[in-house]
Amino acid sequence: MRTVRTVKRLAWAACATAGALAAAACGGGAGSGGSGAVLSSSWGDPQNPLEPANTNEVQGGKVLDMVFRGLKRYDPRTGKAKNMLAERIETTDSRDFTITVKDGWKFSNGEPVTAKSFVDAWNYGASLRNNQKNAYFFGYIEGYDKVHPETGAQSADTLSGLKVTGPRTFTVRLNQKFSTFPDTLGYAAFDPLPSTFFTDHEGWIAKPVGNGPYRIESYTRGSAMNLKKWDGYPGPDKARNDGVTLLVYTDNNTAYTDVLAGNLDLVDDVPATQLKNVRTDLNGRYINTPAGIIQTLAFPYYDPKWNTPGARKVRTGLSMAINRKQITDTIFRGTRTPATDWTSPVLGADGGYKAGLCGKACTYDPAQARRLVREGGGLPGGQVRITYNADTGSHKQWVDAVCNSINNALGNDKACVGNPVGTFADFRNQITQHKMSGPFRAGWQMDYPLIQDFLQPLYYTNASSNDGKWSDKRFDHLVDQANAEGDPARAVQLFQQAEGVVRDNMAAIPLWYQNGSAGYTDRLHDVALNPFSVPVYDEIRVG
């Protein structure tokens, strides 16, 4: 069984700041035209043109979520993948899938959405020459190694695993068994594309055309994007407002004060500095819900010091020396939740989240921590240095707090120190070049709400986001079994067993789940964040 290539996804912190370079467009208020039911929302310029397979940061993702609909859509509340454009996705062996597209769907330019719209889009996204950031999402499909080889030139233009079999049907053959593959199809990379995307690419980039409840009216880089409700939208989730104006802010503090002043309707990601007063400021119009992000401390298993049975005890001891509750309460003011497993609460119990799976190993217990570290032969090298990047996401505060917690618990003020690396890029380079000598910061934002996405890319042998090169035969075997399992409930159980292996070895120390937050004015109703921490715009009512 081959592992599937996944690109490093620890970039979430960098993503949050992407596009924050242009000048702020404050003022302005709600959109142009004077339509009353248009809301304004804080935004940042997308990093890349809005090609679905090339957008892996949250600001571009926000727009794609409004102007596109895929085969599946993740329920904004439960995170469950539900059929959207898919009429049926059938398989008998968890490897060959037959997908039938619903009738009656159109792009906003009138072109019908067919099986070909999907297959062409996926081939485009996977092809090396198009250099799409999300290409690795197609890595499960047979023939990916031909159209997107790791090195050298591609030997095919299209994925051999994709075949159009009718106007509304196509087949997908995967390169391994992957029973939950249909549930990954809600990700933007799998969105369909109209033929104008290929025939008039420049024109499409200038004004993207999709099949979602909104149409892009205009976009001025560094200032604003106007989206209008598409009246002809055939889907069930029609927009309940007349449009959304996304205003570019470089500083979310400014956006926040604009919400207080009534110049802006919605700010997502309330700045940390305002968290103390946000509830009174906004009179309850504040959301703080778990997002699909977990923070962990990963370890370098390529360093023999950390790859011993004793080091396993040391890692567990370190985990028990961290007072997660106190750190999330004081440093993060409750916008993080102490982690008790290696997934995320947004999966829900059915999806594989299991509160307390980590058990005692994630419970603060200084005495036990001291004992385990001693039994494990003490800290490798006498000291742990937690490596992190100093440029984004104010990691210093929590790293210092974690170190203080470990030092206090172990009764040694030199047990743990932070080791900042100047830039995120340098930090990532040092990780990929295997230069870590101790624990390092790892953040994982899910690609789709499946337990598989929290385990396989991170802990499977040689999975390419397995930065610490952890390897365990039992874990690999359980993941293989889970992927081959046709019954979703049974697959989840197998994944949880695999997660148990991660726990028993403390392959990575889970720290906390990250929350998403938003604040809004009293003009808006029914504001919610989806599992990706993006506001569910189509449900918002204005007035």
Partner 1 sequence: MSEKTIERPTTDEAALAKELEAEEKAAARQASLLRDGWADLRKRPLFILSALVIVCLLALAIAPSLFTARSPFSNGFCQLQNSMNGPGSGHLFGFDVQGCDIYTRTVYGTRNSIVVGVVTTIATTLIGGLLGMLAGLIGGWVDMLLSRITEVFSALPIIIGGLLIMSIWRTGDVWTVSFIMAILGWPQVFRIMRGEVISNKYNDYVMAARALGADSWRIAFRHILPNTLAPVIVITTMNLGVYISAEAALSYLGIGIQSPNISWGLMISDAQDRFLTSPHALLFPAGALSLTVLAFIMLGDVVRDAFDPKMR
Q: Nearer to partner 1 by C-beta: 14 or 401?
A: 401
Q: Nearer to partner 1 by C-beta: 244 or 509?
A: 509
Q: Nearer to partner 1 by C-beta: 267 or 446?
A: 267
CB of 366 to partner 1, least distance (A): 11
Place of tokens 């008998």: 92
CB of 322 to partner 1, least distance (A): 11
Residue 302 CA: distances (Å) to CA of 2, 165, 313, 433, 473: 21, 47, 18, 11, 16
CB of 506 to partner 1, least distance (A): 23
CB of 98 to partner 1, least distance (A): 53
Helix (H, G, I), strand (E, B) or coil at 386: strand
Q: Nearer to partner 1 by C-beta: 289 or 412?
A: 412
Q: Nearer to partner 1 by C-beta: 418 or 510?
A: 418
Q: Nearer to partner 1 by C-beta: 63 or 282?
A: 282
- CB-based contacts of 484-493 (< 8 A; 24+ apart in sequence): 484/94, 484/177, 484/179, 485/94, 485/179, 486/91, 486/94, 486/179, 487/179, 488/179, 488/180, 489/350, 491/179, 491/180, 492/350, 492/351, 492/352, 492/451
Q: Nearer to partner 1 by C-beta: 310 or 420?
A: 420
CB of 40 to partner 1, least distance (A): 25
Structure tokens at 243: 């449009």
Q: CA angle, 502 as apex, 498 and 504 as ends, to 5°? A: 110
Q: Nearer to partner 1 by C-beta: 153 or 367?
A: 367
Residues 348, 81: Cα–Cα separation, whole Å? 12
Residues 13, 54: Cα–Cα separation, whole Å? 18
CB of 441 to partner 1, least distance (A): 16
CB of 514 to partner 1, least distance (A): 17
CB of 328 to partner 1, least distance (A): 11
Residues 140, 124: Cα–Cα separation, whole Å? 15
Structure tokens at 23: 């000048």
Q: Nearer to partner 1 by C-beta: 271 or 348?
A: 271
CB of 426 to partner 1, least distance (A): 7
Structure tokens at 478: 């359980």
Q: Nearer to partner 1 by C-beta: 165 or 326?
A: 326
CA dihedral 384, 390, 393, 395 (to 10 degrees): 20
CB of 534 to partner 1, least distance (A): 25
Place of tokens 């570019």: 248
Torsions phi, psi for 220 (to 5 deg)? -115, 115
Instruction: Classify residue 154 as left (phi > 0), alpha (psi -120 to 50) or beta.
Output: beta
C-beta of residue 172 within 8 angstroms of C-beta of residue 165: no
Instruction: List residues binding partner 1 (CB under 8 A).
Output: 272-273, 276-277, 323, 326-327, 330-331, 390, 394, 396-397, 400-401, 404-405, 407-408, 411-413, 417-418, 420-422, 426
Q: Nearer to partner 1 by C-beta: 132 or 405?
A: 405
> Secondary structure of 86-98 in the HEC alphabet?
EEEEEECCCCEEE
CB of 411 to partner 1, least distance (A): 6
Length of the chain: 543
Exposed/middle/buried for residue 184 (C-beta within 10 Å: 0-12, 13-18, 19+): buried
What lies within 8 Å, CB to CB, of 458 at 6+ separation is 442, 444, 465, 466, 508
Residues 68, 51: Cα–Cα separation, whole Å? 11
